[in-house]
Chains A and B, each alone.
Chain A
Amino acid sequence: MVPETDRFVRRLTFALVVLASMATEIAADDLRPVSQSLGLAMAWVALAVIINGFIPLPANSRATPPRWIIFPCLGLAALPFVIEPFRRDWTGAGYPLELQMVAGFRNMALGFAACAGWRLCLRLACVSSLFLMLFAVIMTNHRGTMPVLGLYGAAGSVWLAAVHWSGLRQFFVAGDNALSLDVSGGRPAPLPKLALALGLLVVGGVIALTFVGPQQIAGTLGELFPTSGGTGGFDPFARGGIGDGDDETKGKSPKSTGMTQSDTFLDTPLPSLYDLISDMYGEPYKIQEQERSIALDPLTMKALESQKKPADNLRPNREFAAGRTAPRQNRDMSDRTARAMFEVEGRTPLHLRLTAYDGFDGRVWREAPAGVRQVLLEKEETGHWMRVVSREPPEAFAPPERHRFKLTAPEGPFLPTPPHTTRFWVAMVNDPNFYGWGQDRILRFAERNAPAGTVLETECRVVEPKKLVTVNFPVGRVGERFLHSDLPPDLSPEIPALAREWTRGLPPGWPQIAAIIDRLKSEYAVEAKATDPRDPLGEFLFHSRRGPDYLFASATAILVRSLGYPTRLVSGFYVSPEAYDPVTRHTPVVREDLHFWAEVMLPGGDWLVLESTPGHHTLAPEISLSERLLLAASRLGTWAQEHAIEIGIGIGMALLGFMFRRRLRDRLAVWRWHFIPVTDWRANVTDTVRLLERRGGWAGKPRAGSETQAVWLRRTGHEELIQLSRIIEWAAYAGPLPAPWPVDEVRQVCRDVVRAWTVRRWRETSNIEEVIA
């Protein structure tokens, strides 16, 4: 190594260890926020930096470090094992065995980095950091490790280049100036026979133990770590494993599951989906028609009895009342973190249809007939994908996208499929007969419930809103079975009038529909409250102007329908981007994500989601990188605006720290110089000159590596420094010769020089004379 790169390499090594610590912390607990992991890593690094400040640089970096260094390093390695029992006892949290080992390793790497003045420690620190980095990358696929890994790779390359610079220089420097040097090599290191023998003994012993030893040891070695699963061992703090560990059955992390069937999945104590609508939106009003007794003539009585409709309420969930009581206020929203019904991988927001309603009588929506036959499924010739056979779609779509759904606690035959699904795939279920249809375009399992652990992959078209303008939306009745175009018989004429007013002057088709959605989104507010049982729509549209999402959806459906377009009301799950879990990279969908929206028929029979509830959106096509950058920049700007004071203070502190970094370091060094007394006058002089050297370097007057300290000091031409140059020569090279001066006087000279020759003084000393050798 070339001397001028020495300090650079030390810093680089520290940077490598810092990066490795960061990656290790991220990998150690990849479910917590990255900032927390990085903060923890920084705390350890700061500790190492402080320790580093107190370890003096050795005079010769090639020297063997003092032997006692091994003890603190071993202590650092053992520390996590010592702390772990207390931690588990006091905080209830803990690390599995492998993480304790890695934490010990990390400590050791930091320790080595702190003593990086010795080249041996420097190299050990680098190797340790490499191990930590590899461990982190293998242990987790958290996205946070990737940038760290990239940085590590870059820094590591520079490290290698710097360490082997003397060899590389021959390639980079023009022939005449090339100088290849190997001042340390050539002398073969003695073979550490004892260490080799010990190592072989340990390895051999361990191998022997796996054959003859107890089952536990064999199992442990077979799996490398007892907590990685499959060994029959049990550690309550194990990470996601294969056959054990609590994460498995709890299924907290969608990544940890093989989605195995277990008691938890089969006997769920949770209420069924049929209670969900009432839970979410309150009970429908039961209009007590017998409230008042009025006298009727027998003929009328008889006519009424004969016209009585069948008892629809015997078939649950076949209708949805738009007038409802307020939902129960004590609904525990903290259940949000409860285990999801299913997890979505892919872009959101998504609308997942559950049930569609077509007829509306002003108060109650009727479920549309199920089992539609127009749309069929067929299996693709190759692979297990099922294709949805549909007529030529309108030209309103961006490139299709894929989603994956992992059903952890499914409800009934429901299969979550995004709108405009073209293909889907469920492992092993590759016959179209396994699937059936609810209402139009609502996929279900035919006559069976979806089993827990089902993984469904779908490919759906994404609507390009800009292209919707060109679509010719069908107008008028579609088929006799459906009520998609039927307005309530006693619909107040104000509602169609309102629709016409909102769409006045607009061309038919999407502009009209979009105008209605915009109006509702901008002029109406969401509020979970009781709704008028008599005329929920009229009350919502003209008076209260606030209500739950089903009123937004109902209003959209009826307003658009009053313009002639076939519409329907759909209940289902809204996959909100806000619920995205960046750690698992999935979006969990819980029962509270139940949502209502309206849909309008597209040419070809497909249905287009009309999302008019404020705060809800439909899936937009993926935006380009530049647009995304712009968006990110604007968001960053907003965030910065909100936290202006904190950011200002942070930047100010960092700037101050940066501006005064030398003064701070100098102060630290002077404190060390003052408060850590050295008994030997030579050490005292050496420390003093080093302090001066550092100051001189900061002031732009560094000492060259091939120049002795004495010459460098003499170059200043100042009497006190020339004096010091004689003393340092004596201290450094006189060996056993006794000092020719009283030690107290030497100390006094050192004190005076340290006080007088500050960085500023060095800067002001312009006349550094070249000494004529």
Chain B
Amino acid sequence: MTLTAESVKTPAAASRPMDQLRAALNAALKGKSRVVEQVLACLLARGHLLLEDLPGLGKTTLAKALATAMGGRFARVQCTPDLLPGDVTGFDIFNQKSREFEFQPGPVFSDVLLADEINRTTPRTQSALLEAMAERQVTVDNRRHELPAGFFVIATQNPVEHHGTYPLPEAQLDRFAVKLSIGYPAREDEVALLAEAVGEGRDESPPRPSLKPGELQSLQRQVAAIVASPGVRGYLVDLGRATRSHSRIPLGLSPRGLLIWQRVAQAWAFLKQRPFVTPDDVQEVAPDVLGVRLGLPPDALAGVLDQIIRSVPVPD
């Protein structure tokens, strides 16, 4: 038989920069290759990323590693209850010399913004990010300020049940593409982690960016071109409608959610070096995409998703 497993694979043009990015993230976060893939999918889908987990599991480490590896300008906001919207978006100050108001850009004017512990700040400040995330622009004092094209938000948060948190409003949550949790590492990974921390300590040499400027945009364009056949699109819509009529889901999937779901599935197919989306891609990214926007407690999500996926036949 001449047909081999390799010949069936699609020739992937863009694997080299992706491999570097993947390697950088895996080095930062040991033993979490699936999380890394999910993060990459989110990045390629041009969506914002919400990391939710208990303190100390490596959320910020991952976010920083990603920001560094992507290159570009990196900004970070440590969210506290007294953080004001202007601290994020920037504000006008009066220049005594020119006697004019001048705009002082905030941390959002960057390529990668890390909003650490986003649910520790007030809803007022959280909402300041709405426009920036959705439309990649900021309006201050009736003046519009464009953000960079590759603007990408990584937010981390503690589980909502914790003290001193302001749960993100639904509108805000819907702006994130996926919500990921990292989870505890496996035993051997933790052992390796400890081994690394002993002695001379970690390699403190500043990591180099894995992507050249403009490379990410090119990859994102390739992802957008991944084929989603009419059957798969119908499948997505059917699943979306199923979430709206499910008795336990307080908030059904919005059309924007559907768009993001399709894009993340495209990215997932791209990561698997396949030029088209299969229903399996859709199913595999479903927990990430739906976890952030259905308003379900995390422990109920898996069961409900399982019911929904079982109830909709896959297209043949």
A: residues with CB less than 8 A from B are: 2-3, 59-60, 166, 170, 176-183, 186, 686, 704-711, 719, 722-723, 726-727, 729-730, 732-737, 740-741, 745-746, 748-749, 752, 773
Contacts and interface: CB of A to CB of B under 8 A. Distances in A.
Contact of B312 (A177, A183, A749): A183
A707 B1 contact: no
10 contacts: A181-B245, A181-B246, A183-B312, A705-B313, A711-B280, A733-B231, A735-B228, A740-B10, A741-B3, A745-B3
Nearest to B239: A183
Contacts of A182: 241, 245
A60 B284 contact: no
A719 B228 CA distance: 27
A705 B5 contact: no
A730 B3 CA distance: 14
B7 A3 contact: no
Contacts of B2: 745
A745 to B, nearest CB: 5
A59 B311 contact: no
A729 B315 CA distance: 11
B278 interface: yes
B280 A59 contact: no
Contacts of A177: 307
Nearest to A727: B8
B229 A706 contact: no
Interface string B6-40: 01111000000000000000000000000000000
B316 A59 contact: yes
Interface string B59-94: 000000000000000000000000000000000000
B232 interface: yes
Contacts of A741: 3, 7-8
B227 A736 contact: yes
Given A178-B247, A180-B246, A708 B8 contact: no
B241 A183 contact: yes
Given A737-B227, A741-B3, A183 B276 contact: no
A183 B237 CA distance: 8
A186 B3 contact: no
B242 interface: yes
Nearest to B248: A176
Given A178-B247, A686-B316, A723-B8, 12 more contacts: A59-B316, A60-B234, A179-B246, A181-B312, A719-B5, A726-B8, A729-B276, A729-B278, A733-B279, A734-B229, A746-B3, A749-B1
Contacts of B227: 733-737
Contacts of A736: 227
B314 interface: yes
B310 interface: yes
A711 B278 CA distance: 10
Contact of A705 (B7, B228, B229, B310): B310
Nearest to A62: B234
Interface in B86-136: none
B313 A733 contact: no
**Which 4 pairs from chain A and chain B are nearest by CB?**
A3-B313, A726-B8, A735-B229, A183-B238
Interface residues of B, number: 41
A2 B311 CA distance: 7
Contact of B7 (A183, A729, A740, A752): A740
Contacts of A176: 248
B247 A180 contact: yes
Contacts of A773: 280, 283-284
Q: For A170, A733, A752, which residue has the most chain B Cβ atoms within 10 angstroms? A: A733
Contact of B314 (A2, A179, A705, A735): A705
Nearest to B241: A183
A547 to B, nearest CB: 80
B247 A732 contact: no
Nearest to B311: A181
A169 to B, nearest CB: 10
B310 A735 contact: no
A182 B237 CA distance: 12
Interface string B231-275: 110100010011001111000000000000000000000000011
A733 B245 contact: no
Contact of B310 (A60, A178, A704, A746): A704
A708 B241 contact: no
A722 B8 CA distance: 11
A682 to B, nearest CB: 11
A733 B284 contact: no
B57 interface: no
A737 B225 CA distance: 12
Contacts of A686: 316
B308 interface: yes
A176 to B, nearest CB: 8
Contacts of B308: 179
B289 interface: no
A182 B308 CA distance: 11
A732 B315 contact: yes
Contacts of A722: 5
Nearest to B229: A735
A736 B275 CA distance: 11
Given A181-B311, A740-B10, A708 B279 contact: yes
A426 B218 CA distance: 101
A746 B314 CA distance: 23
B182 interface: no
Contact of B245 (A180, A735, A737, A748): A180
B198 to A, nearest CB: 33
Contact of B316 (A2, A178, A732, A746): A732
A166 B2 CA distance: 47
A740 B273 CA distance: 13
Nearest to A1: B313
Contacts of B283: 706, 773
B309 interface: yes
A708 B245 contact: no
B275 A748 contact: no
B277 interface: yes
B309 A708 contact: no
Contacts of B246: 179-181
A168 to B, nearest CB: 14
Contact of A60 (B231, B245, B274, B277): B231
A707 B232 CA distance: 13
Nearest to B238: A183
Contact of B247 (A179, A186, A727): A179
A720 to B, nearest CB: 8
Interface string B268-301: 0000001111111001100000000000000000
A733 B229 contact: yes
A180 to B, nearest CB: 5
A736 B310 CA distance: 28
B313 A732 contact: no
Nearest to B308: A179
B316 A709 contact: yes
Given A179-B307, A181-B311, A734-B227, A710 B241 contact: no
A707 B245 contact: no
Nearest to A748: B1
A241 B145 CA distance: 90
B289 to A, nearest CB: 15
Contacts of B245: 180-182
A3 B313 CA distance: 6
A704 B238 CA distance: 17
Nearest to B246: A179
A182 B246 CA distance: 10
Contact of A730 (B234, B276, B309, B314): B276
Contact of A735 (B242, B276, B279): B276
A706 B309 contact: yes
A181 B231 contact: no
Nearest to B306: A706
Contacts of A170: 247
Contacts of A726: 5, 8-9
Contacts of A735: 227-230, 276
A721 to B, nearest CB: 12
